[in-house]
Amino acid sequence: MSWMEFKKNEILTVTIEDIGNDGEGIGKIDGFTLFVKDAVIGDVVSVKIMKAKKQYAYAKLEKVLTPSPFRVEPKCAFHRQCGGCQIQTMSYERQLQFKENKIKRNLLHIGKFDQAVIERIMEPIVGMEEAFHYRNKAQYPVGTDREGKPIVGFYAGRTHTIIENNECFLGAPENKRILETILEYMKQQRVSAYQEETGEGLIRHILIRTGFSSKQIMVCIVINGQKMRNGNFLPQEGMLIDALKRIENMTSISVCINRERTNVIMGKEVHTLWGKDTITDNICIREGEDFRRTGKEIQYKISPLSFYQVNPVQTEKLYSIALDYAGLTGEETVWDLYCGIGTISLFLAQKAKKVYGVEVVPQAIADAKENAANNGINNVEFFVGKAEEVLPDLYEREGVYADVIVVDPPRKGCDAVCLETMLRMKPKRIVYVSCDSATLARDLKVLCDGGYELVRGRGVDQFGQTVHVEVIIMMQYCGKEKN
Ligand code: SAH
């Protein structure tokens, strides 16, 4: 124990020397650590202590005294309240460096890999050409302000209070006009917004999806109601449709019924009010250092409820790297575990003999099959079920084989049984696509203790302004097991 202890509400000056995994600034005062959200590495800031422990404290940024050379003007006035963009005040270059370091730090500390191995295998992170306006999907909650006027916005970090804002800079620029059109209609026709506390009111959320290569726009209004006596779902429905369909590239207008009192956004039932039921988007393989689009375009149909990658430009790069790492010659049997709607599977199928996909959500597999058929790809087969159940089962009963296994699990990583089965199947190569480098590092340790070695790796930024980063690692079988 030292003489020094932080006290709540105390104001201090500190230099920010590091960045935590959640993007927070980290500074030290006499060996004690301060975590300061919204402070940028290199800033000298004045902070207020919010929560003090013996060795460290959480502090709130009060004032930037000397700005860091990495500090930039934020685009969005709400970046501190929203919490969606944790590092918007950091230059994009520095964001990429932070993400690259985070991956390496996790491989070192959690994976226990040698620094020299990590430096050797990791290729430079792939950044975005445009670090804003990259999301093809936006979901805005609808509520009312103090005067009862309808508003759209976002939930203030970790709360359910809606802060009014109809322009999120991560989304498509057209979203603003769509939101304004719906709000105007609500005001004119006195259509109520849903109130979470009472469960009353009609309009809950607005979902907008845009096909980046097709330009098609889909609007889906989530409502707390049913068909009315006149067969419509919304009062003066025709007026809203007329206004929305005038927006360029509008392709699909629908409602989704959600009458449950939960914070799940979408319901199960969708009714198209105007236009098509789905929009399409195309993605294709990219090659070379500059990631030129070279492959055949694969078309995806997207409905309001289907899963689709939110940053299609970077997804093309990410999955093209995965394909490159898989090293296919046309002779291989490949398993794509956690395959979703088969985005990676359909990339792989263009260069493999046969691809098998495994995914737990039945609707995603239905979409995957339809996407394969629509694109004339017939060397793929999909299984519904948990990877850790389907794979061992098929291995034991039928002795299934893989030259290459690709995995793209959710944040919690692969199940232990799944990893164990992969080790028993001994594919020549394993390609691991991950959205959480901590669980990735944990799983790589298991695979490398079981006879694999790291060969190549690369970060790909799918989510500029946020602390998230995707990583791809390629391993090959070397037979050196550690006990
Ligand atoms: N590559 C996919 C997305 C992968 S996201 C695509 O581009 O579409 C991770 C996927 O793993 C999700 O679709 C999720 O539903 C699925 N999943 C989660 N747990 C699983 C499990 N235990 N077994 C198989 N799939 C699982």
DSSP, residue by residue, 294-355:
-S--EEEEE-TTS---S-HHHHHHHHHHHHHHHT--S--EEEEES-TTTHHHHHHHTTSSEE
Per the listing, tokens 């500090």 go with 71
**CB of 294 closer than 8 Å to CB of 284:** yes
Q: For the chain, percent helix, then strand, then coil, each to nearest 5?
A: 25, 35, 40
Whether residue 2 is predicted with pLDDT greater than 80 in this model: the reply is no
Best CA proximity match to 19, nearest among 49, 40, 1, 43: 40
Tell me the average pLDDT across 85-113. Answer: 97
Q: How confident is the model at residue 161 (pLDDT cuts 50, 70, 90)?
A: confident
The per-residue pLDDT for 482 is: 81
DSSP, residue by residue, 197-219:
TTTB-SEEEEEEEE-TTT--EEE
Please tell me the distance between residue 434's alpha carbon and the centre of ligand 1 in angstroms. 11
Sign of CA dihedral 115, 121, 122, 124: positive
Please tell me the distance between residue 336's alpha carbon and the centre of ligand 1 in angstroms. 10
Main-chain phi, psi angles of 12, to 5 degrees? -135, 160
Tell me the average pLDDT across 247-255. Answer: 98
Please tell me the distance between residue 340's alpha carbon and the centre of ligand 1 in angstroms. 5
Q: What is the pLDDT of residues 16-41, one digit of tens each?
A: 999 998 999 999 998 899 999 999 99
Q: What is the pLDDT of residues 181-199, one digit of tens each?
A: 999 999 999 999 999 889 9
Atom of ligand 1 nearest to the CA of 342: 8
Q: How remote is the C-alpha of 298 from its chain's centroid?
A: 21
Domain 3-66, what fold?
Answer: OB fold (Dihydrolipoamide Acetyltransferase, E2P) (2.40.50)
Main-chain phi, psi angles of 287, to 5 degrees? -135, 160
The per-residue pLDDT for 319 is: 95
**What pTM was estimated for this model as a whole?**
0.94
Mean pLDDT over the full length of the chain: 95
Active site residues: 435
Q: What is the CATH architecture assignment of 137-277?
A: Beta Barrel (2.40)
The per-residue pLDDT for 4 is: 64
Note whether 3-66 and 137-277 share their fold.
yes
Q: How confident is the model at residue 417 (pLDDT cuts 50, 70, 90)?
A: very high
- Residue closest via CA to ligand 1's atom 16 equals 338
Lowest mean pLDDT, pick from 220-224, 305-309, 419-423 = 305-309
Any idea where the domains of the chain sit in the sequence? 3-66, 137-277, 310-477
The per-residue pLDDT for 307 is: 87
170: helix, strand or coil = coil
Rounded CA-CA distance 363/236 in Å is: 33
Is 310-477 a domain of CATH 3.40.50.150?
yes
The per-residue pLDDT for 1 is: 44
Atom of ligand 1 nearest to the CA of 410: 9
Q: Give the N- to C-terminal CA distance of the chain in Å, as an integer.
A: 40
Q: What is the pLDDT of residues 212-241, one digit of tens each?
A: 999 999 999 999 999 999 999 999 999 999
Q: What is the pLDDT of residues 345-373, one digit of tens each?
A: 999 999 999 999 999 999 999 999 999 99
Rounded CA-CA distance 295/366 in Å is: 24
Per the listing, tokens 């005067």 go with 147
Best CA proximity match to 297, nearest among 312, 310, 309: 312
**CB of 172 closer than 8 Å to CB of 136:** yes
Which residues does a 6 A CB cutoff place in the pocket of ligand 1? 307, 309, 338-341, 343-344, 358-361, 364, 386-388, 408-410, 415
